[in-house]
Amino acid sequence: MSTTYAVIENGMVVNVIVWDGKAAMGWGGDQSLIQITQSWVGTTAPIPGIGWSYADGVFTPPPSPPLTPESIAAKNLALAQTSYNVATAKITALNEQVADGDYAGTTEAEVNAELTAWTDYRKQLRAYIKTGDGNLALPVVQAV
């Protein structure tokens, strides 16, 4: 039966090999073999590969590449839409509270101030989303 090994050189995985442990193998002076013990079946854990580091018995993936400006903009627009949906839900709940006259633990003035703040925030988000430019700074809800 063959086993998967990481070839380590200077603390970095430089290759991944499958070896039966019997056939003669040769590798460089500063290289060592570390068995990759993860089961590949039914696991969601990433399998160590070339470019990973290895120290003190632990494989560590390389850092993720930096996000492109386009990726950041897309994330900002998605966050703006999610925030818009949250603001809409909050506004709906506050409007229901006003319609029901339910001011338990608060006052009508406090509820109306919160409603105004969330409505202003949602307007800012709507304008942000409408521009389609996720490179701009996201609006922030004003504390009440």
- pLDDT tens digits, one per residue of 77-88: 999 999 999 999
* Domain boundaries, given as residue ranges, for the chain: 3-60, 69-131
pLDDT of residue 40: 57
Rounded to a whole number of angstroms, the CA Rg of the chain reads: 28
Cα 96 from Cα 90, distance rounded (Å): 10
- Concatenated DSSP letters of 54-65: EETTEEEPPPPP
pLDDT of residue 21: 73
- pLDDT tens digits, one per residue of 109-144: 999 999 999 999 999 999 999 999 999 999 998 876
87 and 125 Cβ atoms separated by less than 8 Å: yes
Q: Does pLDDT of 2 surpass 90? A: no
pLDDT of residue 47: 85
pLDDT of residue 140: 93
The SS3 assignment for 13 reads strand
- pLDDT tens digits, one per residue of 37-73: 765 566 667 789 999 999 998 999 999 999 999 999 9
Q: Does pLDDT of 34 surpass 90? A: no
The SS3 assignment for 90 reads helix
48 and 59 Cβ atoms separated by less than 8 Å: yes
Mean pLDDT over residues 92-105, rounded? 95
Query: Cα torsion at 28, 34, 40, 46 (round to 10°)?
Result: -90
